[in-house]
Amino acid sequence: MIPFSSQTKTNIEYAAELLRKAKYAVALTGAGISTPSGIPDFRSEGTGLWSRDEPMEVASLNTFRTDPERFFVWFRPLAGQIFNAQPNPAHVALAELEKAGRVRSIITQNIDALHHKAGSKNIIEMHGTLRTLSCTQCFQQAEAKNYLKAFVERGALPRCPACNGLMKPDVILFGEQLPQQAWYEAQSESRQCDLMLVAGSSLEVLPVAGLPMQAIDRGSHLVILNNATTYLDVRADVVIQEDVATIIPAIVEQVLNG
Ligand SMILES: [Zn+2]
C-alpha cells in the first residue's frame, strides 16, 4: 500500500466504514476521475484545449449548428484521447464496489465511457456520451466506434448511413439541455441514497453540482474525494484531497477486505 499520512489513513478508514454501513450508496464522478487516464478536463483552464479555443464557445450547440467544421476540428484531439483511453484504478475500483453490491449507481459528468469500459453497469451519464452519435437530419442513432476511428485518424466528418446527414456525437454541448431521463434518475438516486461518494468533481458545474446537496438535505452521508476544495467540503463527513486513482482503490480494498 502507498504510504499515506496518518490523517489520510484515518480518513480512508472512515470512508470505508461509511461505505460498509451504507444501505444505498451512490457515486458522483467528474473529470478528475478521468485525468489519470489521460483525458483533459476541457472545461478547465490550462489544459491545452482551453488555450487553443474557448470551449464554451466552440463546444456549443450554436457552433455545431452554424460552423460544424470548426466544432469537429476542436473536437478531434479530444475524441482521439477518449477513443484511446483506458480506465484507471479508480474506475476499476468503483466497478468492483458495484459488483459487490456496495454502490447502486454512478452518476457521471464524463462523456468518456470509462466507467462502461471498467465494467460498471448502472451508469447515469449527465452530459451525454461519446459512445453514440445521432443524425442531425433523421435522428438515427449509431455506435460511435464505427465512425470515431475514421474521424480521429483522417478527420472524416461522421455522415449518416441512411440520409448522409451530419452526425452529432451524443454529448451535451454548452447551450444544450441536459438529457431529461438522466436528470430524473440522478435526482431520484440523490434523494434516496444514504451515502454519496463524490469522486473527481469540484462540484462547479450546475445543475449536477447541486445533487449532493439534495442528498445531505435528506440525511445522507457525504464523502468527497477530489484534488481541490469544493463548496460542500464543510458539510462532508470525510474529505480527502489526493489523487483519486490511489485513494479510491485504497478505500475499496478496505471495504471489501478490511
Ligand atoms: Zn440521417
pLDDT at residue number 64: 93
| Residue closest to 188 by CA, chosen among 81, 75, 101, 104 | 104
- For the cut 80, the answer to whether the pLDDT of residue 246 exceeds it is yes
Q: Please, are residues 254 and 98 in contact by the beta-carbon 8 Å criterion?
A: no
Other C-beta atoms within 10 Å of 150: how many?
12
Is pLDDT larger for residue 157 or for residue 189? 189
CA distance 16 to 254: 6
What percent of the chain lies above the pLDDT cut of 70? Answer: 95
Q: Of 34-48, 90-104, 138-152, 166-180, give the lowest mean pLDDT range.
A: 34-48
- For the cut 60, the answer to whether the pLDDT of residue 49 exceeds it is no
Please give the model's pTM, rounded to 2 decimal places.
Answer: 0.93
pLDDT at residue number 3: 77
For residue 43, name the pLDDT band (cuts at 50, 70, 90): low
Identify whether 221 is a catalytic site residue: no
Is pLDDT larger for residue 130 or for residue 44? 130
3-state secondary structure (DSSP) of residue 174: strand
For ion ligand 1, residues whose CB falls within 5 Å: 135, 137-138, 140, 160, 162-163, 165
pLDDT at residue number 50: 46
Strands (E), the chain: 25-29, 105-108, 123-125, 128-135, 141-143, 167-171, 195-199, 221-225, 238-240
Burial track 192-201 (b if 16+ CB lie within 10 A, e otherwise): ebbbbbbbbb
- How far does the chain reach from its first CA to its final CA, in angstroms? 13
pLDDT at residue number 52: 55
Residue 141 CA to ligand 1 center (angstroms) comes to 8
- For the cut 50, the answer to whether the pLDDT of residue 107 exceeds it is yes
